[in-house]
C-alpha cells in the first residue's frame, strides 16, 4: 500500500479497524440558556408551553418506536416513563400556575417547578420513585429545547450516513448507535480498552478515540475520514485523498475475505500446537458474530451490559433466558460467563451508588457483589439454571484476595444447595475461574491456582493497575504498554502457576487479540485467547504461520529485556 498524503489530520488511538468516510455529526449538548422574564400575556405563554409539550411528546414517541424496533421493549421502556412525566398534571398544572401567578416566562417556570419535583423525588426512600427524578430532568431538557427553538442531538434519530464526533461516548451510547447510518466515530477522550472502544470493535464500527481535539477541530457537516487502522482522522480531505482511502478500505475488505476462509479451521500453529481462539461478547446478540468469525468458544461474556441502559435490575428469569440463549447459541462450545463487573466506566445509575473519586479502584465488581448479595445470588441462580443448556463456566471479576474468591465460591455453593433442595437442575461440572486483573493476584497466582479451575488474564485492567495509568486517559496512554517486560513477566507467572496445578490459563483482555503480543503469548504457553470476535480470523491466520517452539525462545528472550521498545523490535524481527 503506497504512502498516503496527509492534510488536516488528527492523531488518536486506533480503536476499531476499517475506514469510514462520511459527514461529521457533532454530538455536542446544545446550550439551553435563558433567564427570568416578565411576560404580558400569560394565556399566550401557556399556549407556547403546551405546544412545546406536544412537540416533545411526538418526538419521544418517535424515539420510543425506533428504540423498540432496534433494541426491544425493555430498552424502550424509559421513553414510556418520559411520556408519563409529560402527562403528569401535577407537574404541568404547577408550571402553568407559576406562569400565571408570577407573570413569568414558561422556561423559567418550568425549570423552577421541575427542580422542586426533582429534589422531592430524590429524597424519597423508594428507589423506584428516586429514579423518576432522572426522567423529570431529561424531559425538562427536551421541553426547554422546544421552548427555546434549539435542537437536541439524538444519535438514535440519525437518518443519513454520518461519523459521530463527540467528547466521549458511554458504552450505552455506543450500543445505541444505528449501524445503518453511523459509519464511524471519533472522540476526544478514551483509550483502546475503554468499553466504548471495545464495543465499537464488536459492532464493527470504525473508530478513533483519544484525539483530544476532535470536537474543537471538526465542524458539524465537515467531510471526515476515520481510519480505525492507523488511528488517524482526516478533516475535509481532497477528492484525491478520499480516493486513496477508498482504495485502502477496499484492500482491507479483500484482506478480510482472505481471513474469512479460515472460519471453520482450528487454530493450530505451524508446528502443530493447538490453542483456543474465543470471542468476548457483551450481549446474546453478539453470539452470531462469535460464530461467524470462527470463535471456538466465548472466553468472556460481560454480563454487566444486561444490567445497563435500563431502569432496574434484570430479574432472575430475564437473566436465565439471556445466559441460556448464549450457551445454546454456542452449541456445546465453552462459554465463560463473568459475573457482574459494574464500576469503572460502567455505571448503573439506578443502584444509586455514591460517586467515587477513583471509581476504577473503588467499590466495584466482586467487591460490590459480596456486599450486595441479593444481586449476586440472583445472578448465580440464573447461571446455575442455564448451565444445563451447554458448556457454561463461571468467572469472578476483580478478585484481589483468596478470601474474596472463597467467599464468592461459598455463596455459589449455597445457591447450588438451595436449587438442589428445590429440585431444580444444574450442571454438576461447572468450572469456576477468576479474572487475573489485579497485580496482587498475578503475583500470588501459585496459591490461587490450587483453588480455581482456570485463570483468565484481564490485561485491560492488569496493565492499568501495574503501570498506574488510567486505561481511559489518552494523556497517559504512552504508559499503557502491553509489551512492557513487567507485564509479560506477570503474564508468565500466571500461565506457569496454572500449568503447575494442571489448570488452563486464558486471556480475555484486548492484548489477547493484539498481533504484536500474540507471538509472545503463544510462546509463553497461553491456552486460550479471547478477543473481540472481529479479531479472531486475523489472529488465526497469524498463529498458523508461527512456530510455537520458536516463539518459546522469543518469549524467553523478551522476558529478559528492559524496555518495551526492545521487546517490540525483537518480536518484529522474529515474526517477519
Ligand atoms: C480486563 O480487564 O482485561 C477485562 C477483560 O475486563 P474489562 O475490560 O471488562 O474490565
Ligand atoms: Mg477488567
At 1 the pLDDT is: 41
At 269 the pLDDT is: 98
Which of 202, 298, 302, 441 for a ligand 1 pocket mutation test, highest count of atoms within 8 Å of Cβ?
A: 302
Q: Which residues lie closer than 8 Å to 525 by C-beta, 6 or more apart?
A: 495, 496, 499, 505, 552
Asked whether residue 229 carries a pLDDT value surpassing 90, the answer given is yes
At 199 the pLDDT is: 81
Asked whether residue 2 carries a pLDDT value surpassing 50, the answer given is no
**What confidence tier does 72 reach under pLDDT thresholds 50, 70, 90?**
low
Instruction: Work out the average pLDDT over 445-465.
Output: 97
DSSP track, 203-247: HT--EEE--SSHHHH--TT-EEEEETTTTEEEES--HHHHHHHHH
At 343 the pLDDT is: 83
Asked whether residue 519 carries a pLDDT value surpassing 80, the answer given is yes
Rounded distance from Cα 197 to ligand 2 centre (Å) = 14
Rounded distance between C-alpha atoms, residue 296 and residue 506, angstroms: 13
At 70 the pLDDT is: 64
Judged by its nearest atom, the ligand closest to the C-alpha of residue 366 is 2
Cell of 468: 498506574
Distance set, CA 285 to CA 74, 173, 308, 329 (Å):
15, 17, 15, 10
Domains of the chain (ranges, CATH numbers):
8-26+158-257 (3.50.30.10), 42-148 (1.10.274.10), 274-574 (3.20.20.60)
User: What mean pLDDT is reported for the chain?
Assistant: 92
For 159-177, the pLDDT digits (tens) are 899 999 999 887 667 777 8
Handedness of CA 339, 345, 346, 347 (dihedral sign): positive
At 472 the pLDDT is: 84
Atom 8 (ligand 1): residue with closest C-alpha? 460
Grouping H, G, I as helix, E, B as strand and the rest as coil, residue 346 is strand
At 457 the pLDDT is: 98
Atom 1 (ligand 1): residue with closest C-alpha? 458
Instruction: Work out the average pLDDT over 46-63.
Output: 92
Asked whether residue 512 carries a pLDDT value surpassing 80, the answer given is yes
Asked whether residue 4 carries a pLDDT value surpassing 70, the answer given is no
pTM: 0.79
Q: Between β-strands 9-11 and 232-235, what pairing exists: parallel, antiparallel or unpaired?
A: antiparallel
At 6 the pLDDT is: 46
**What confidence tier does 390 reach under pLDDT thresholds 50, 70, 90?**
very high
At 332 the pLDDT is: 96
The share of the chain scoring above pLDDT 70, in percent, equals 96
**CB count, 10 Å around CB of 40?**
7
At 253 the pLDDT is: 95
- The binding-site residues of ligand 1, defined as CB within 6 angstroms of any ligand atom, are 193, 300, 302, 341, 437, 458-461, 508-509
Asked whether residue 464 carries a pLDDT value surpassing 70, the answer given is yes
Amino acid at each position: 500500500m503506497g504512502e498516503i498524503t496527509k492534510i488536516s489530520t488528527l492523531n488518536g488511538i486506533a480503536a476499531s479497524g476499517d475506514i469510514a468516510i462520511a459527514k461529521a455529526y457533532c454530538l455536542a449538548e446544545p446550550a439551553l440558556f435563558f433567564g427570568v422574564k416578565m411576560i404580558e400575556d400569560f394565556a399566550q405563554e401557556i399556549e407556547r408551553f403546551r405546544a412545546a409539550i406536544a412537540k416533545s411528546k411526538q418526538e419521544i414517541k418517535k424515539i420510543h418506536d425506533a428504540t423498540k424496533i432496534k433494541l426491544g421493549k425493555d430498552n424502550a421502556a424509559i421513553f414510556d416513563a418520559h411520556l408519563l412525566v409529560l402527562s403528569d398534571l401535577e407537574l404541568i398544572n404547577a408550571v402553568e400556575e407559576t406562569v400565571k401567578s408570577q407573570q413569568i416566562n414558561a422556561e423559567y417556570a418550568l425549570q423552577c417547578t421541575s427542580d422542586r419535583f426533582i429534589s422531592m423525588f430524590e429524597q424519597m426512600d423508594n428507589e423506584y420513585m428516586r429514579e423518576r427524578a432522572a426522567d423529570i430532568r431529561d424531559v425538562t431538557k427536551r421541553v426547554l429545547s422546544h421552548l427555546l427553538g434549539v435542537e437536541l442531538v439524538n444519535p438514535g434519530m440519525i437518518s443519513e450516513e454520518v461519523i459521530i464526533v463527540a467528547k466521549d461516548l458511554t458504552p450505552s451510547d455506543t450500543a445505541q448507535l444505528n449501524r445503518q447510518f453511523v459509519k464511524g466515530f471519533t472522540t476526544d477522550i478514551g483509550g483502546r480498552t475503554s468499553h466504548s472502544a471495545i464495543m465499537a470493535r464488536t459492532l464493527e464500527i470504525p473508530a478513533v478515540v483519544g484525539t483530544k481535539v476532535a470536537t474543537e477541530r471538526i465542524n458539524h457537516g465537515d467531510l471526515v475520514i476515520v481510519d480505525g487502522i492507523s488511528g488517524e482522522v482526516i478533516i475535509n480531505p481532497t477528492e484525491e485523498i478520499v480516493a486513496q482511502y477508498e482504495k485502502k478500505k477496499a484492500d482491507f475488505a479483500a484482506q478480510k475475505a482472505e481471513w474469512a476462509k479460515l472460519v471453520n479451521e482450528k487454530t493450530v500453529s505451524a508446528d502443530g500446537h493447538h490453542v483456543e481462539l474465543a470471542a468476548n461478547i457483551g450481549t446474546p446478540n453478539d453470539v452470531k458474530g462469535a460464530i461467524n468469525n470462527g470463535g471456538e468458544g466465548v472466553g468472556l461474556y460481560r454480563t454487566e451490559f444486561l444490567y445497563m441502559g435500563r431502569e432496574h435490575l434484570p430479574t432472575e428469569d430475564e437473566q436465565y433466558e439471556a445466559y441460556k440463549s448464549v450457551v445454546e447459541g454456542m452449541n456445546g462450545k465453552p462459554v465463560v460467563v463473568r459475573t457482574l463487573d459494574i464500576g469503572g466506566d460502567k455505571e448503573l445509575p439506578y443502584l444509586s451508588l455514591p460517586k467515587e473519586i477513583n471509581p476504577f479502584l473503588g467499590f466495584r465488581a466482586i467487591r460490590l457483589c459480596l456486599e450486595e448479595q441479593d444481586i449476586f445470588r440472583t445472578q448465580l441462580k440464573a447461571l446455575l439454571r442455564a448451565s444445563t443448556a451447554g458448556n457454561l463456566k463461571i468467572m469472578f471479576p476483580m478478585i484481589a484476595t483468596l478470601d474474596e474468591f472463597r467467599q464468592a465460591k461459598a455463596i455459589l455453593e449455597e445457591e447450588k444447595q438451595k436449587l438442589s433442595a428445590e429440585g431444580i437442575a444444574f450442571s454438576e461440572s461447572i468450572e469456576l475461574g477468576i479474572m487475573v486483573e489485579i497485580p496482587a493476584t498475578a503475583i500470588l497466582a501459585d496459591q490461587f491456582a490450587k483453588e480455581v479451575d482456570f485463570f483468565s488474564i484481564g490485561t485491560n485492567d492488569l496493565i492499568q493497575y501495574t503501570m498506574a495509568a488510567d486505561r481511559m486517559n489518552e494523556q497517559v496512554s504512552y504508559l499503557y504498554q502491553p509489551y512492557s517486560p513487567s507485564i509479560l513477566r506477570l503474564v508468565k507467572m500466571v500461565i506457569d502457576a496454572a500449568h503447575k496445578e494442571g489448570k488452563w490459563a486464558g486471556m480475555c483482555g484486548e492484548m489477547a487479540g493484539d498481533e504484536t503480543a500474540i507471538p509472545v503469548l503463544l510462546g509463553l504457553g497461553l491456552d486460550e485467547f479471547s478477543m473481540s470476535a472481529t479479531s479472531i480470523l486475523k489472529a488465526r491466520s497469524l498463529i498458523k504461520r508461527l512456530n510455537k517452539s520458536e516463539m518459546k525462545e522469543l518469549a524467553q528472550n523478551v522476558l529478559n529485556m528492559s524496555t518495551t521498545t526492545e521487546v517490540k523490535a525483537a518480536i518484529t524481527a522474529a515474526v517477519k
